[in-house]
Structure 1
Amino acid sequence: MPIFGTDGVRGLANGPLTADLALSLAQATAVVLGQGRTADARRAAGKRLTAVVARDPRVSGEFLTAAVSAGLASSGVDVLDAGVLPTPAAAFLIADTDAAFGVMVSASHNPAPDNGIKIFARGGVKLPDVVEQRIEAAMDGPKLQPTGGGVGRIRRFADAEDRYIVHLLGSLPHRLEGLHVVLDCAHGAASGVSPETFSDAGATVTVIGADPDGLNINDGVG
């Protein structure tokens, strides 16, 4: 039975979407996306493969992100842990850092008990269906198991949010002075980025639903 749906892998966290599944999916992703001419050229140049990993504030995102990062690092992929950020931020950062690929742990508008894993290709673009099928098949195949200095490192992506905000501000055709903007962040991943971005752009900002506690995402807001 396929595990990928129309927007990545989703399900009840610790139901069908377990830490074991997240680990196996990450290992298979490293096998599939760590191959090809671009990856081989990077290795030949002495460069390591890197992946950006981000999540939304759901409480289950903590253990699922840890499992994804473990699966990637154990397969020789360096991980940039961007923390809690919106999905478009993850896509941007993959492209901005020239990462080999990236993973977003989020279930978007679904209720808090659910979660999901979305994988982006190089450049922050959506994976073609055929690549998702190859990753599913690789989950039952041999994994990469480097040792010593071949294993990946997991590092905090300290300026991930700042980079994304600078990108957003740079995309505006003009500043927003004179506008009063009301933001309902649904206690989600944009609770930090959105208010700061609109404020930095010059708008007067009223914010609601921006106090995520891991359990209240999309609850009574939006």
Structure 2
Amino acid sequence: MPDDAEPGTVRPGGRTARVREAVLRAAEDALTEQGFTRLDLADIARRAGVGKTTVYRRWGTVTGLVADLLLDMAEQSAPRTETGSLLGDLKANARLVQRTLTDPRQGALFKALIAAATCDAKTATALHRFYDIRVREWAPCVQQAVGRGEVPEGTDAHEVVRAVSAPLYYQLLISGGRLDEAAADRAAEAALAAARAGAYAGDGDGGEPA
């Protein structure tokens, strides 16, 4: 089949899937190496070993490709861990974020994507969607904790999950502090203490998905 075949015209798992995988990994490489502002679809096609027409036809723009990359990253992220306690679940979440952000490739990739989101509205929207998917994945652990009586009724599950990862991103991007498992555990413990005190209960969504 020629390189400019319309995506979706071959069976799932066939050439279309292989092309998407190759192009997304090439986009990751380019973002990690040179940042968002120097991304070029022709260069990414060359790196992926596919025809330029395929890349332009399927993704259209750099921001379209970045949006698909973020969707793929959300889909590939590790699933929620259930330990039987909210502290255990939040620590599992925090350690997953910590491992991701300290990974040489993934950490650099997230820095590039966050930087791009500050100056490109479509990338910002795609990044927000990525985090919304991940927060929704982990929110049930807080909803289950409400049922067990670990945190008050009406606790906003999404805000609790966000509170876990926020200090880790702060250390990655702002403070330059040590981003290790101890930092991850402290973030989880602080979020739990705030939730138990009712900091995330009240006028929020009560932990139910929006």
The normalised TM-score by structure 1 is 0.29
| Bigger RCO of structures 1 and 2 (CA < 8 A, at least 6 apart) | 1
What is the TM-score normalised by the length of structure 2?
0.31
Bigger proportion of residues as helix: 2
Structure with bigger strand share is: 1
